[in-house]
Each structure stands twice: as C-alpha cells, then as structure tokens.
Amino acid sequence: VFVSREAAILHADADCFHASVEQRDRPELRGRPVIVGPGVVTSPSYEARAYGVRSAMGGRLARRLCPQAVFVKPRWDAYVEAGKALFEVFERTAPVVEGLSMEEAFLDVSGLRRISGSPIEIAARLRREVRERVGLPITVGVGRTKLVAKVASGVAKPDGLLVVPPASELAFLHALRVESLWGVGPSTAEKLNAHGISTVGQAARLSQAELISILGRASGRSVHALAHNRHPERVRARRGRGSFGAQSALGRTTRSADAIDVVVIGLVDRVTRRMRAAGRAGRTVVLRMRFGDFSRATRSYTLSRATAASETVLAAMRALLRSVATVIERKGLTLVGVTVSNLDARYGGIQLELPLERRSRSALDRALDELRERFGTGAIIRAALLGRGSELSPALLADEAARRRD
C-alpha cells in the first residue's frame, strides 16, 4: 500500500478550458462572458458563470441567464493543441504524470525537493510556466492523496493554488457536500440525501455496511473509503484508452432510415480512421441511441476478430440498426453513436485505397504484392471492395455467425 507522508501530489486543472483558449486567441473576448457552443454549453468563462451559466447547460437557458454573453463555436483542433502544450509543461515538471482528460492531470512531485524545491514551490512554478508558455490560467491543488489534491483544486478555482496539509485533510473533506467526492453524481447524492446525508462528514459516520446497503457494493465501498480519505492510489501514467467512439445529435426532426444511414456512415468513417491512425483494432461494435422521449439504449455485437476496417464496422452497425428499426420508428431517434471497444489487439495493418477506375485484378495484385513486400509473407492481408452499393453486411454477419458455430 502506497502511503505518502507529505502532501506531494499535485492536481493541475485548466480553468474553463475551452473558453480560456478562446479568450487567449481573441483578446477582444477577455473580461467578457464567453460561452462555448450553442446547443449545449461546454465551458462557460468565469464571467459567464457569475450569471449562473454552467457547463452541460442548455444553450437557450444560458442565453436567458446571460444575454450579453458572446457565444463561440467550439474549435476542437485548437483545444487539442492547447492540451498538448499543457501536457508538455506537466511532463517537464514531474517524472510521473497521470492525465485525466485533455486539460487535467495528477503529478507526483515527491522526491523532487532537492532538484525542484517543495511541492508548493513546484506548484507555483507550474502555474507560472503554463501561463507563460501556453497562455492559460490553471489551478493546482496539492495534497497527500489524489482525492485531496483533486478536491483542493476544485475549491481553489479559478486561477488558484491550494495546499491541504496532512493534518487538516479530514476536516477539509468532511465540510464538503457529498457531490464533491469522486464518483458521486446526482443519482448517488440523491440516495444519500434521502437518508439525511448531505455532507462528507455525515457520510463518514456511517459504517461501510450501511453505505453499501444504500448505494450498492461498489459505490458504497468507494464513498466509505473516500469519506475517510482512504484513497491510496499511486499517480501513474494511464494505460491506453479502452474504446473509440463518435456520436451525433440529430435534433427532433424525424429522419428516414436512409438519412440515418448517411449519418452512421460518417460516424463509422470517423471512428475507424482514428483507430487506423492510432494503430488499434477492436472487436465489439456498440450502437448508442437516444430517442424522442430522451430514453437511451445501446446494442452491441462482438466480432470474432478485432478490426479497424470501415466496412466491417459499418456492416455490424447496419445489422444492429435493423434489429431496433421498430423502436426507432415508434419513438424517433434523436442521437446515434458508434463505439468500438474491446481493443484487445494491436492493428498493424495498413489500408490502401485504389481509385475505382483502377479497380482491376492486376491493380489489386500489384497492391497486394506491395503489401507482402512491406510486411512479409506472414502478414495477414485482407482486401475488400469499397464504394457505392457495397452491401457486405448480411454476408459478413452470416460469415461471423458461421465461424462462431465452428
């Protein structure tokens, strides 16, 4: 069990990340309420938060609360870029960095006192360097455990630094509302509230058995441990991601099956391109849906082999869509998503696309020869015809089913 004696875990978190990037790149937005994203608000600036605008809030309500706000379309490329720059500074600051998202990470700075100074000094310098090199404000929380560090940065926002010394940890945590704990969202908070528990301190007075009886095993254990500041997890670099996905909200207008198919093709293409670029393949294809009444559902299908091929994933998606056609017709589809998970294999493949006019047997043979030359005769080479009217789905799935039986 890992127990650090001093507060040497940093949680660094960019403030209102998206809005801050916009304000950095467009000086005329500085000091003004900025809201990124019509539709749903991803990241309101603090000027907008002052009017009650929150992330994940509907755009219409946000506009009502803060009519003078500037609405800005999200620029994802710019955020990815800024996130990379942010992590470059993180990596320079600490030997072990655990990224939680594009704009947030834990840094373990124990053992750096001789080289870089105390955790507080390191945290202050980190904030300065991010400001200088990336041009963004960040908040840093410092604690002995990840939990305390994370909660501390949340409390210190915006543009702040808060160190919670080991002696004050419990007092610090117990004063907070239960929602501040990691993994406690609206549903869990409501269950606790129903038992008269609204603060972490109140939760800490319950036994683990009592919490499990209220919340179930995993949540009960987790809340019990966190409320006592038992969160002995090391800071460690994350292993690779577990899935690739893309989704698209369709709005409330009813779409024909053909129109849905067009959206799905685009989503599959996006996901599989990213997978191939990352050199990953997956076996499970998940269709994610939201309906007119805002209920949700998923359907999944597991292939016998991992793939990153567009037409294989598309075939599976089409079959899944057919299986829920009547539900979609009855309730209306307002969101559709594709996720490929079960990423158990490296995908060492490469995809060569031949223009249609060169789609001849000899052109194909030349391409295959080229692949064999590059990857050796031991490589598994699969070819598929792409293009208009290619309807591989039923045959492909029948093939999968047959292989399973075998």
Partner DNA sequence: TCTGGGGTCCTAGGACCC
User: What amino acid positions are annotated as catalytic residues?
Assistant: 104
Choose between 8 and 16: whose C-beta lies nearer to DNA: 16
Q: Judging by beta carbons within 10 Å of its beta carbon (0-12, 13-18, 19+), is residue 377 exposed, middle or buried? A: exposed
Choose between 208 and 247: whose C-beta lies nearer to DNA: 247
Question: Minimum distance between the CB of residue 385 and DNA, rounded to whole angstroms?
Answer: 26
Contacts of 200 (CB under 8 A, 6+ apart): 173, 174, 175, 176, 177, 178, 180, 181, 226, 227
Q: Does the protein bind DNA through residue 111 (CB under 7 A)?
A: no
Residues of this chain, 83-102, that bind DNA according to CB under 7 A: 100-101
Among 4, 199, 284, 351, binds DNA (CB under 7 A): 284
Question: Minimum distance between the CB of residue 272 and DNA, rounded to whole angstroms?
Answer: 12
Q: Does the protein bind DNA through residue 294 (CB under 7 A)?
A: yes
Q: Does the protein bind DNA through residue 216 (CB under 7 A)?
A: yes
Of 260, 280, 262, 259, nearest to 271 (Cα)? Answer: 280
3-state secondary structure of 335: strand
- The angle at the Cα of 166, spanning 162 to 172, to the nearest 5 degrees, equals 60
Question: Minimum distance between the CB of residue 355 and DNA, rounded to whole angstroms?
Answer: 28
β-strand 34-36 against 70-72: which pairing, if any?
Answer: parallel
Which stretch of DSSP H or E encloses residue 72?
strand 70-72
Among 188, 310, 312, 393, binds DNA (CB under 7 A): 188
Stretch that binds DNA, among 163-171, 197-205, 331-339, 378-386 (CB under 7 A): 331-339
Q: Is residue 168 within 8 Å of 151, Cβ to Cβ?
A: no
Question: Minimum distance between the CB of residue 12 and DNA, rounded to whole angstroms?
Answer: 12
Residues of this chain, 130-159, that bind DNA according to CB under 7 A: none
Stretch that binds DNA, among 27-35, 111-119, 157-165, 182-190 (CB under 7 A): 182-190
Question: Minimum distance between the CB of residue 31 and DNA, rounded to whole angstroms?
Answer: 23
Among 33, 37, 44, 119, binds DNA (CB under 7 A): 37
Q: Is residue 296 within 8 Å of 290, Cβ to Cβ?
A: yes
C-beta neighbour count of 172 within 10 angstroms: 19
CA distance 183 to 14: 20
CA distance 386 to 231: 51
Of 135, 348, 144, nearest to 229 (Cα)? Answer: 144
| CA distances from residue 187 to 144, 179, 197 in whole angstroms, order as listed | 29, 10, 13
Among 170, 176, 263, 335, binds DNA (CB under 7 A): 335
| Polymer length in residues for the chain | 406
Amino acid type, 100? L
- The angle at the Cα of 176, spanning 172 to 181, to the nearest 5 degrees, equals 100
Stretch that binds DNA, among 22-30, 86-94, 162-170, 213-221 (CB under 7 A): 213-221
Token look-up 């893309």 returns: 246
Residues of this chain, 222-281, that bind DNA according to CB under 7 A: 241-249, 251, 270, 274
Of 312, 309, 372, 308, nearest to 343 (Cα)? Answer: 308
Stretch that binds DNA, among 35-43, 193-201, 345-353, 371-379 (CB under 7 A): 35-43
Among 68, 121, 128, 182, binds DNA (CB under 7 A): 182
Stretch that binds DNA, among 138-146, 165-173, 177-185, 355-363 (CB under 7 A): 177-185
β-strand 161-163 against 138-143: which pairing, if any?
Answer: parallel
Choose between 159 and 179: whose C-beta lies nearer to DNA: 179
Choose between 262 and 368: whose C-beta lies nearer to DNA: 262
Among 184, 204, 227, 268, binds DNA (CB under 7 A): 184
Which residues contact DNA (rule: CB under 7 A)?
A: 17, 37, 39-40, 42, 55-61, 100-101, 103-104, 179, 181-189, 216-218, 241-249, 251, 270, 274, 283-284, 294, 296-302, 334-335, 337, 339, 341-342
